[in-house]
Amino acid sequence: MLKSYIFKRLVNLLFVLIGITLLSFVITNLSPVDPAEAYARRIWQNAGQEQIEQLRQEMGFYEPIYVQYYRWVTSAIQGNFGKSLVSGRPVREDIMTALPVTLLLVAVAALLILLVSIPLGILSAVYRNKWFDHLIRMGTLAGISLPGFWLGFILIYYFAVEWKLAVVVGFGKIEHVLLPAVTLALPVISMNIRLLRTNMLEIMNKDFVLYAKARGLNERRIVWKHVFKNAVSPLVTLLGQTIGHMVAGAVIVESVFSWPGMGLYAVAASMDRDFPAINAYVLIMAVIVVTSNLLADIINIWLNPAFLQEGEK
């Protein structure tokens, strides 16, 4: 049953990827900007019409759009995304330089999410309506409401400029990644705390929990073995989704902190009208998002086999 479920999900994800790449390819080709002309202006300061037409012919823009899409997809499957119109290097090389940088940022942010959201969510549920719970709820509301770019500038101002506790210029050390990771993780931490608290409070009123209390089981054992285990499944799903979205949505954070990852790469490609780079970015981000969602569902099935029955409905 598990193999059948995974196979169905993979088929569905394949259609999702086809739809996303097709939409991205069509939108970029419907842009009023002529990529051949934009590329020619970068090569030659006073590019003539003949030079532009020659480049358009070499780049295959005379062919129907479905032919261009098929040629691009078949090349992309083999890892060939074409050459960047800006750097002149293969897009794959540029992405292999930027993607690990973004993955490092997301990995540190995910570690912060796990270390902070789980204990605070449990404590907020255990000490319901106490001063600690009220404090956590106000903090999570603020964390969800704050715009990422504003939070990034605030952290830079206080921690890097005023208090000089962090460094935001450079790359490769923990002090360089800490503030961007906190900025990226804080909204997710806030959502996870609220979700875990809500789920645990709901499960605490279930009959099997009341029965465990009546049997005189230790409260800590009840919280961890009975309540938390059943409340964590939606959290795993949310975390899997948010990790994919953090990789794809790190544009703002990377722009604020000048972090040389995929987000900054996508912004530069958009500004420079680098269509091969844009299409490759959309495809890779789509693969990461759908893969992270599938992995989250598989982990949920492992933690709670009943999730598989819900997925088959």
The answer to whether domain 91-312 has CATH 2.60.120.260 is: no
| Nearest CA among 81, 86, 39, 32 for reference residue 58 | 39
The answer on pLDDT for 189 being more than 90 is: yes
The answer on pLDDT for 136 being more than 90 is: yes
Task: Please write down the HEC assignment for all residues of 54-89.
Answer: HHHHHCCCCCCHHHHHHHHHHHHHCCCCCECCCCCC
Q: How far is CA 293 from the centre of its chain?
A: 11
Q: Global pTM?
A: 0.84
| Nearest CA among 204, 206, 180 for reference residue 259 | 180
pLDDT band at 6 (very low <50, low <70, confident <90, very high): confident
Work out the mean pLDDT of the chain and round it to a whole number: 84
Q: Is the dihedral of CA 42, 48, 50, 53 positive or negative?
A: positive
pLDDT band at 96 (very low <50, low <70, confident <90, very high): very high
pLDDT, residue 68, reads 84
Q: How many CA atoms lie within 13 A of 311 on its CB side?
A: 24
Q: List beta partners, residue 121.
A: none
pLDDT band at 168 (very low <50, low <70, confident <90, very high): confident
- Per-residue pLDDT reduced to its tens digit, 216-270: 777 777 887 778 878 887 787 778 778 888 888 788 899 889 899 999 999 888 8
The answer on pLDDT for 197 being more than 90 is: yes
pLDDT band at 119 (very low <50, low <70, confident <90, very high): very high
First to last CA, the chain: 13
DSSP secondary structure string for all residues of 195-249: HHHHHHHHHHTSHHHHHHHHTT--HHHIIIIIIIHHHHHHHHHHHHHHHHHHHHT
Taking CA atoms, 1 is separated from 8, 100, 130, in Å, by: 11, 35, 45
Q: Domain locations in the chain?
A: 91-312
